[in-house]
Amino acid sequence: MGSRAKSFDYYFCDNCRIYVYDEQHGDPQNGVQPNTPVRALPLTWRCPVCCSSVKNLRAVTLCDDISKLELARIYSQLKGKRAG
Ligand SMILES: [Zn+2]
């Protein structure tokens, strides 16, 4: 509470690392309405890119209005460091 910083929750598919689920946008092509939290996604939901399950979505919270492309770059860098 009290923090007025903008924050957006994005969810990367940790399997393909291409797809990003945006709760505000939902996934209308797969019947998911906008503003649907990841927790409310149906268990039958699959990543549109690689068909992996909702469990592979990894939350990323940012405090800025950052583009998804930028986010993808940051994420892949983080991933690269761990992958060693
Ligand atoms: Zn995927």
Q: State residue 46's pLDDT score.
A: 95
Helix (H, G, I), strand (E, B) or coil at 42: coil
Measure the CA–CA gap between 10 and 14, rounded to whole angstroms.
Answer: 12
Q: Give me ligand 1 centre to Cα 81, in Å.
A: 20
Q: Give me ligand 1 centre to Cα 20, in Å.
A: 8
DSSP state of 38: G
Q: Is 13 exposed, middle or buried (0-12, 13-18, 19+ CB in 10 A)?
A: buried
Q: Give me ligand 1 centre to Cα 7, in Å.
A: 23
Instruction: Dump pLDDT digits (tens) for 50-84.
Output: 999 999 998 876 655 666 677 777 777 776 655 44
Least confident window among 33-37, 45-49, 75-79: 75-79
Q: Give me ligand 1 centre to Cα 47, in Å.
A: 5
Q: Are residues 28 and 42 in contact, defined by beta-carbon separation less than 8 angstroms?
A: no
Residue 35 tokens, joined:
């503003």
CATH code reported for the domain at 8-83:
2.20.28.10
For the entire predicted model, the pTM comes to 0.64
CB under 5 Å of ion ligand 1: residues: 13, 15-16, 19, 47, 49-50, 52
* pLDDT band per the 50, 70, 90 thresholds, residue 28: very high
Measure the CA–CA gap between 78 and 57, rounded to whole angstroms.
Answer: 16
Domain ranges, ordered by start, for the chain: 8-83
